[in-house]
Amino acid sequence: MMGYSHSVTAAGAWLALTELGITPHQDTGTLVVTTLACAGAGMFPDADHRKGTIAHSIPPFSNIITALIATLSGGHRKGTHSILGVLAFWALAYFSQTLTHNGIPWVSLALTAFAGGLALRVFKAPGGWLGAIGLGYLAWQTDSLSLVPWAIFCGCVMHIIGDMMTTRGVNILWPITIKPPVGTKIWRKSGYFSLPVLGDAGSARENILTSAVTVYILWFALAYFAVIHTFPSQWLSNLWH
Ligand SMILES: [Zn+2]
């Protein structure tokens, strides 16, 4: 999947969890911060890519960090695209909250701002990293930080699901690789798993899925700000009955 598709599907999943009441109730500021953090984290697993969006985000720091992540995780689509990788991203977000200076969890705020800023960049919001700084401030003002690790978790999980839906698949069990006796489309010779309903990354089917999720997000936003009366889930359940 392409970066944009990862971010859109991550944000869509987070809003769906919100709509279904699976995440706790959030005020508007918190929802903005967590949704954008989730959308940005939707690209985190590709931080193992030395030429990807994250590598080019804040040079030269981002180049150094992505090179380090690529080395630690064994290369592209390996460690960061596994259960272990998701847990590592979650743990980074969770434990960074405990690192405070003068009572302010700077690392956690910076991570939240960075994730949200990545999303703003991929959604082509104007203002560059200024938006990220604004989000960091909003995160501090709204108690969003306790939910951010879960938003990041959701984004990373959605990334792996997205890549799994493409032909190459992912090895979620990394660093263990179990190769099948006979390679199939679902359990590939490489030991990677995939359910390639989208075909290759960047396919027309991927674009259709991303467009559908974009419509869902816009619909959610219109309902949330009371421009229209029915949330997507309400409409669906009305359809059912
Ligand atoms: Zn990926």
The per-residue pLDDT for range 7-66, each reduced to its tens digit, is 999 999 999 999 999 999 999 999 999 999 999 999 999 999 988 899 999 999 999 999
Determine the distance separating the centroid of ligand 1 and the alpha carbon of 109, expressed in angstroms.
25
Determine the distance separating the centroid of ligand 1 and the alpha carbon of 227, expressed in angstroms.
36
Average pLDDT over residues 111-116: 97
Q: Which of 25, 24, 71 is nearest to 50 (CA)?
A: 71
CA 169 from centroid of its chain's CA atoms: 17
Q: Decide if pLDDT at 130 tops 90.
A: yes
Determine the distance separating the centroid of ligand 1 and the alpha carbon of 146, expressed in angstroms.
26
Confidence of residue 127 (pLDDT cuts 50, 70, 90): confident
Determine the distance separating the centroid of ligand 1 and the alpha carbon of 162, expressed in angstroms.
8
Burial zone of 145 (CB within 10 Å; 0-12 exposed, 13-18 middle, 19+ buried)? buried
Determine the distance separating the centroid of ligand 1 and the alpha carbon of 211, expressed in angstroms.
19
Q: What is the pLDDT of residue 50?
A: 87
Give residue-wise pLDDT tens across range 94-110.
999 999 999 999 999 99
Q: What is the pLDDT of residue 93?
A: 97
Determine the distance separating the centroid of ligand 1 and the alpha carbon of 6, expressed in angstroms.
8
Determine the distance separating the centroid of ligand 1 and the alpha carbon of 224, expressed in angstroms.
31
Three-class SS state of 159: helix
Determine the distance separating the centroid of ligand 1 and the alpha carbon of 77, expressed in angstroms.
6
Determine the distance separating the centroid of ligand 1 and the alpha carbon of 81, expressed in angstroms.
7
Q: What is the pLDDT of residue 239?
A: 87
Give residue-wise pLDDT tens across range 163-207.
999 998 999 999 999 999 999 999 999 999 999 999 998 999 999
